[in-house]
Amino acid sequence: MDTTIYSDGTYFRNNPDWHADDSAWKARHIASILERNGVAPSSVCEVGCGAGEVLRNVAREVPAASSFVGYDISPDAYRLCASKSGGKFDFRFGNMLEEPVEFDVAMAIDVFEHVEDYFDFLRRLRTKATYKVFHIPLDLSALALARNEPARMRKSVGHIHYFDKETALAALRETGHEIIDWRYTSGRTELPNLGWKSRLMKGPRKLLFKLAPDFSARMLGGYSLLVLAR
């Protein structure tokens, strides 16, 4: 991971809430895929927890779990989440992969597209939990490439790798993960406060997705991939 932008304040200046507004929406999808596959964890960890709001919202959706631990390497992110430690929450500054820990579920929510050597990251994460939950932005689509969006996202949100469904799943399998379940999520149609371009494309995205989900993701974009792995 290029840690410079996360430690020198650049990422925080570009994303001062660390995407906390999307957290409840992500947590509902995470809880749903766990429930659908009969995964009832006692301990949950999040790598790259940011402001800590995804973990806190997952706790509301999975109340039977007793331990929620969040890690982040960014001092700015840690300042946002540190005060939320207490009770069943423990937010830590550092790299979980360097710690002698193991959890029932480890989450990497919009994380490994930021990591320079994501193959090493994924291999090491595989040993840290029984189940893994990944949320992976699918930045590669015909519309995104026509708009040169990957270059913009590299600058604004620090994505240094870009995936479609097939390459994201291949990366997980090639690093030893067994795919249990996956689904598309659509922030560009489900989240409030969309920009005018997303509002304009909301109808076409929903219609095409109903008819041909994979084709819609490849052509129009606006989707991420939620994956449950073992």
CATH number of the structural domain spanning residue 33: 3.40.50.150
**Whether the predicted pLDDT of 66 surpasses 90:** yes
Q: Which structural domain, as residue segments, surrounds residue 48?
A: 4-186+224-229
SS (H, E, C) 155-175: HHCCCCCCCCHHHHHHHHHHC
- The pLDDT confidence band at residue 56, using thresholds 50, 70 and 90, is very high
Tell me what pLDDT residue 1 has. 44
What is d(CA 217, CA 131) in angstroms, rounded to the nearest whole number? Answer: 26
Q: What is the mean pLDDT of residues 111-118?
A: 96
221's torsion region: left (phi>0), alpha (psi -120 to 50) or beta? left
**Whether the predicted pLDDT of 135 surpasses 80:** yes
CA distances from 175 to 63, 121, 124 (A): 31, 9, 9
Q: What is the mean pLDDT of residues 138-164?
A: 93
Residue 219 lies in a domain: no
Residue 125 lies in a domain: yes
What is d(CA 175, CA 91) in angstroms, rounded to the nearest whole number? Answer: 27
What is the reported pTM? Answer: 0.92
Which two three-digit tokens encode residue 213?
A: 């989900």
- The pLDDT confidence band at residue 43, using thresholds 50, 70 and 90, is very high
Residue 31 lies in a domain: yes
Core vs surface per residue 52-64: b (16+ CB within 10 A) or e? bbbbbbbbebbee
Tell me what pLDDT residue 2 has. 46
Tell me what pLDDT residue 125 has. 98
Residue 89 lies in a domain: yes
Tell me what pLDDT residue 16 has. 67
Q: Identity (one letter) of the amino acid at 194?
A: L
Q: What is the mean pLDDT of residues 95-117?
A: 96
Radius of gyration of the chain measured on its C-alpha atoms = 17
Tell me what pLDDT residue 79 has. 93
**Whether the predicted pLDDT of 86 surpasses 90:** yes
Residue 161 lies in a domain: yes
Q: What is the mean pLDDT of residues 112-133?
A: 97
